[in-house]
Structure 1
Amino acid sequence: MNQPLKIGHRGAMGHVAENTLESIEKALDLGVDGIEIDVHLCQTGELVVYHDFTLERLTDGTGEIAMKSLDELKSLKINGQFEIPTLLEVLDLIDKKCMLNIELKGLGTAFEACKSIQLYTEAKGWTFDDFVVSSFNYDELKTVYNINKDIHLAVLTESDIELATNIAQSIKAKAIHPHYFLLDHNEVKYLQNSGYKVNTWTVNAPEAIARLTSYGVDGIISDYPDRL
């Protein structure tokens, strides 16, 4: 049985604050095959790496991330100590050591994500195989598909695998990223036989990791990639 890819969720958020350079560094230290991060477009046009649409849960700031300039965001602290990174800072840190799964969270993120991927494939020695772009926002995925057919797409779902496969078909996605509750052995085989990689999230309990591994999933996204 093949071992699934070890993918760190928002870096290694079980160990260090999510979506920070320090968390990504920890995931690299743990020998991951891939890292999953979330991106939003801030007011000044940069892609920043952050999960929520608002700042309250993790930072000393308030309000919507999309309404803040990069300077304003850089002045905030996550858990009192970490900076909100940009996508480019994350790319420079990873430096082709593993695959990067960029989840498009905020609106209008597709164009800038494509621009960044294009830059790093053309000028920095990355390949399109080093990237996966995923989202629950299927319009953003369609925008990526319309801009650059070489970018590998993954459709996220936590409720409806059939809808996800229909979307995947329309944008020639490489993968489906279902919540692990949706999966059993037959579902995984069906998706793989339909031509999709199956990377599932967010799997932390050792017994769940063992079960998903036995189903033959292609990748497991976990807060604790050292458990994979």
Structure 2
Amino acid sequence: MASPAVIAHRGYAGVAPENTVEAAIRAAEDDETTMLEIDVQPAACGTPVVIHDDRLEGSRDGRPLTDASGLVWETGLEDLRAAHVLGTDETVPTLTEFLAAIPESVGVNVELKNPGTTELRFADALSADERAERRKVWTPFVERVVDACECFDGELLFSSFYEGALATIRELAPDYAAATLVWDDLEAGPEIARRYDCEAIHPPRNTVAGTGLAETSYAGFTGGEPEIDILEVAHAEGRTVNVWTVTNWHQFDQLAAAGVDGIIADYPGLAVDSSEH
């Protein structure tokens, strides 16, 4: 059985300041890494920047997210590029800067995190009328993201929890691969994937049937055998299944044994360790 592709979550957030150039370089240097997973939002001027949280203040495991404050999309680009991430010397990069720092032998999963508004429909399947409305919200930002990605000749995969984002990327850049991210509604994953003929589905780690992880609570799922076999359904339709987010070797081992195609991981080396246990 083929080993799953290893996708570095925010550039292996467990060992480097997440979504930064340093994380990108370190993750790309690891021979195990197939792809980097990153989050993008707009600065106040609309330039796509690589950052996960909507706000600059707050903390991650006791460290400050940045030494700045405010909503990302209300903050000027130069202020963002000067904001130090998680108490390190690394700052918030633009998408262009991030992509320029890595070789094109490593792919990039660009998660469309936010187009610059608090008025969003998180993880909802939308009606036809609502899809058109949501495309209008996402279009200006997605256009900027696609423009920034044109300089990168490596593999690109666009993912999102927001159906409006997927509708927009399919309309503006249909040649790029797309993936729907799943949260608390497993059946919505295949439904949305079919609507946009997505190449992949990204479910949380506890939604894979037949694993011990299915009994745990995570990402809006309370535990228990999943109502559908997401692997069976996706593979029958020719879609890749990349599971998020794995933090240790025994999680990796269970998902690899189940036959997932890719694993989004916080740490490097989990695939090597899993083969030794």
TM-score range, shorter chain: over 0.9
1:49 is matched with 50
The two structures, once aligned, show a CA RMSD in angstroms of: 1.3
Whether the 8 Å CA contact 2:28–2:103 is kept in 1: the answer is no
| 1:204 CA drift (Å) | 1.4
CA distances 1:11-48 after superposition (whole Å, capped 9, x unpaired): 01111111011111111122200000000011112100
Q: TM-score when scaled to structure 2?
A: 0.77
1:82 aligns with 2:82: no
| Counterpart amino acid of residue 37 in structure 2 | E
1:199 maps to which of 223, 242, 247: 242
2:182 is matched with 157
1:21 is matched with 21
1:60 aligns with 2:67: yes
1:211 maps to which of 254, 258, 262: 254
Q: Residue 96 of structure 1: SS of its match in structure 2?
A: coil
- More helix per residue: 1
How many residues are matched? Answer: 221
Q: Residue 111 of structure 2: SS of its match in structure 1?
A: strand
Q: Residue 8 of structure 2: SS of its match in structure 1?
A: strand
Whether the 8 Å CA contact 2:186–2:230 is kept in 1: the answer is no
- Determine what percentage of the aligned residue pairs are the same residue: 33
| 1:189 CA drift (Å) | 2.3
CA distances 1:76-127 after superposition (whole Å, capped 9, x unpaired): 111232110111111111130211000000124322222223x22xxx5x15
2:110 is matched with 102
* 5+ long unaligned stretches in structure 1: none
* 5+ long unaligned stretches in structure 2: 59-64, 116-137, 211-228, 272-277
* Residue pairs, 1:165-176, within 5 angstroms: 165-176=190-201
Larger radius of gyration: 2
2:233 is matched with 190
| 1:212 CA drift (Å) | 0.1
- Cα distance in 1, alignment partners of residues 101 and 269 from structure 2: 20
